[in-house]
Amino acid sequence: MNINIEVNGKMITAKKGETILSAINRKGISVPTLCYMKDFVPTGACRMCVVEVEGRPNLITACSYPVEEGLRIKTHSPRVVNARKTIIELLLSNHPDDCLYCERNKNCELQTLAEQYNVRERRISGAKNLYKVDQSSASIYRDPAKCILCGRCVRVCEEVEQVTAIDFVGRGNKTIINSAFNKGLNVSSCVNCGQCIMVCPTGALHEIDHVEKVLSAINSNKYVVVQHAPSISVSIAEEFGLKPGTDVAGVMTAALRKIGFKKVFDTSFSADLTIMEESAELIQRIQTGGVLPMFTSCCPAWVKYVEEFRPDMIKNLSSCKSPQQMLGAVIKSYFAEIEGIDRENIYSVSIMPCTAKKFESQREEMTQKGVADIDAVLTTRELVKLIKMYDIDLVNIEPEVTDTPLGTRSSAGKLFGNSGGVMEAALRTAYYKLTGEELKNYKIDEIRGDDKRKELKVSVAGLNLGVAVVSGLTNAEELLKEIEAGRSDIQFIEVMTCPGGCVAGGGQPITFDAKRVKARMKSIYDIDKVDSIKASHQNPEIKEIYEKYFKEPNSEKSHHLLHTHYQKRNVLK
């Protein structure tokens, strides 16, 4: 049913049940928001979106107020603009004001609003927030002094990830966002996904910085190598004025060499390695009556979630390390041996779309004889910083190819960047292993795209296989409950913590434009469309590493280097 409302003197048609914000946005009219997030129930907490409605004594919040027939609204009356300006001034009254040094300088919603509303002097002075920063986490840096209490992080952590590691604590002007018992995030249930960073409007949340330690390593006599995850080459273009989703793999490789990395490897190579090991593990579990369904273990935030919240299901996790860690292990063993380099002198850096990978790299299980497989993890955002720091013109430099071995990939490995990509790659290789033939059509539509859950039933060589793909831990939890309730038609489940997969990871460029994430996803599918090596088992470097080193998937050597184990984790909840 349609409802007629008047906005700034013009009649517009709204839909029954929608909010004023939704109705005016559809007509191209904007009002500023802070606590509002699309697809979440509004809380009306910040009051930045207030509008004036004729006949109402108080200003009302457009994000939470439903349209009514005959409403006459002014979105930018002097009273409204003044109210918004006062809200901004109040938010700034106790803010640290260290914008020049702030991680979010020039990309901060509070800073943008202050400029937009011409807040150029301090009229309201409040006592500065003197909260301690929390740097206890391996992945997430929290600075409560910069927090404006919009609550977006709390809602994402609870509603998208079902973790609830952070919440409002205290009352009145003593309210802050904190983790359980005022202890650091490191002992909380935080799974390090970084989705809170992606929605924070200010510099209150960001990743733990690894840029400085990478620069120190490059400037030392260490042999510094780097790997980049499948989604990185399609995620950085937008930060350099190029069309979102443009694949810049070649120029990115050239840029990494200019920065000083001695070798540039591709994590999509070890995604192929993961597929070889994981598909063998799945087939073995099915044929020998092993624990099913098997869960993927590529996503370290998901693995930590299982350890904390679902320890009874640890046995369902694949024993495969993630592609980052597999490549880390291979660099400091196979690569070190063939190149004759002392593994202790190698400094291994990874570039990931993910903050949880920083945590994963520091896990005790990810070391060999006390030496970490990965020494530093840069997020996509940190890579962008590094490229800018070196004044590299990404648009005009000549593309280069990655180093071999460990730099050649199949397009199946590249698919790991999208939700459903691990599953699609695994099915391509599992089909080949079970039938001895290649799939006629490699593209598996049913598990593509960013739907929260995708399922497929396939019959291969007399084997009936049910598979599911979920992203977002709340969606994963729903599926776990179905399994607990007796669902037994699914044998293999891919879980990614970030909704849509790594293309929307917590380490990616911060944007609220869903089209950018879709462009990254499409770019990966486009690469798969044109590439000639479409399955992990076809990758010539994968064939070579098995011939020369691992012999076969799940061999003793591969178990030693490429597999691991997980255990129950006690945290403060």
Q: Which positions ≥6 away from 11 have C-beta within 8 Å?
A: 4, 5
357 is catalytic: yes
Nearer to ligand FES, 25 or 129 (CB): 25
Nearer to ligand SF4, 186 or 253 (CB): 186
Cα separation of 412 and 534, whole Å?
Answer: 6
**Of the residues 52, 161, 450, 541, which one makes contact with ligand SF4 according to CB under 6 A:** 161
Q: Per the residue annotation, which of 63, 157, 298, 354 is the catalytic one?
A: 298
Sign of CA dihedral 37, 38, 39, 43: positive
Cα separation of 573 and 571, whole Å?
Answer: 6
Map tokens 């018992």 to a residue.
Answer: 181
Q: Which of ligand FES, ligand SF4, none has residue 324 at its interface (CB below 5 to 8 Å by kind)?
A: none
Task: Determine if 148 is a binding residue for ligand SF4 (CB under 6 A).
Answer: yes
Half-sphere exposure of residue 142, counting CA atoms within 13 Å on the CB side? 28
Q: Per the residue annotation, which of 235, 268, 318, 322 is the catalytic one?
A: 318
Residue in 19, 6, 113, 32 with CA at minimum distance from that of residue 63: 19
Q: Which positions ≥6 away from 70 have C-beta within 8 Å?
A: 4, 5, 6
Q: Per the residue annotation, which of 89, 207, 238, 360 is the catalytic one?
A: 360
360 is catalytic: yes
318 is catalytic: yes
Q: Which of ligand FES, ligand SF4, none has residue 61 at its interface (CB below 5 to 8 Å by kind)?
A: ligand FES
Q: Which of ligand FES, ligand SF4, none has residue 147 at its interface (CB below 5 to 8 Å by kind)?
A: ligand SF4
**Other C-beta atoms within 10 Å of 185: how many?**
24
319 is catalytic: no
State in angstroms the smallest separation of the CB of 146 from ligand SF4.
Answer: 7
Nearer to ligand SF4, 144 or 323 (CB): 144
Q: What are the phi and psi torsion angles at 177 (to 5°)?
A: -95, 130
Tokens of 14: 């709204």
Residues contributing to the site for ligand FES (CB under 6 A): 33-36, 44-49, 61, 63
Task: Determine if 33 is a binding residue for ligand SF4 (CB under 6 A).
Answer: no
298 is catalytic: yes
Judge residue 169's burial from the number of C-beta atoms within 10 Å of its C-beta, 0-12 exposed, 13-18 middle, 19 or more buried.
middle
**Of the residues 33, 75, 186, 202, which one makes contact with ligand SF4 according to CB under 6 A:** 202
State in angstroms the smallest separation of the CB of 24 from ligand FES.
Answer: 12
Map tokens 């470097």 to a residue.
Answer: 541
207 is catalytic: no
Task: Determine if 386 is a binding residue for ligand SF4 (CB under 6 A).
Answer: no
Interior angle at CA 451, CA 449 and CA 453, nearest 5? 120
Q: Per the residue annotation, which of 207, 278, 307, 541 is the catalytic one?
A: 278
**Of the residues 14, 37, 177, 352, which one makes contact with ligand SF4 according to CB under 6 A:** 177
Q: Where are the beta strands (DSSP E) in 257-380?
A: 263-266, 294-295, 346-352, 367-368, 371-372, 376-379
Residues in binding contact with ligand SF4, number by CB under 6 A: 28
Q: Which residues are catalytic?
A: 278, 281, 298, 318, 357, 360, 365, 502
| Interacting residues with ligand SF4 (CB under 6 A) | 140, 147-153, 156-157, 161, 163, 165-166, 177, 190-196, 199-202, 204-205
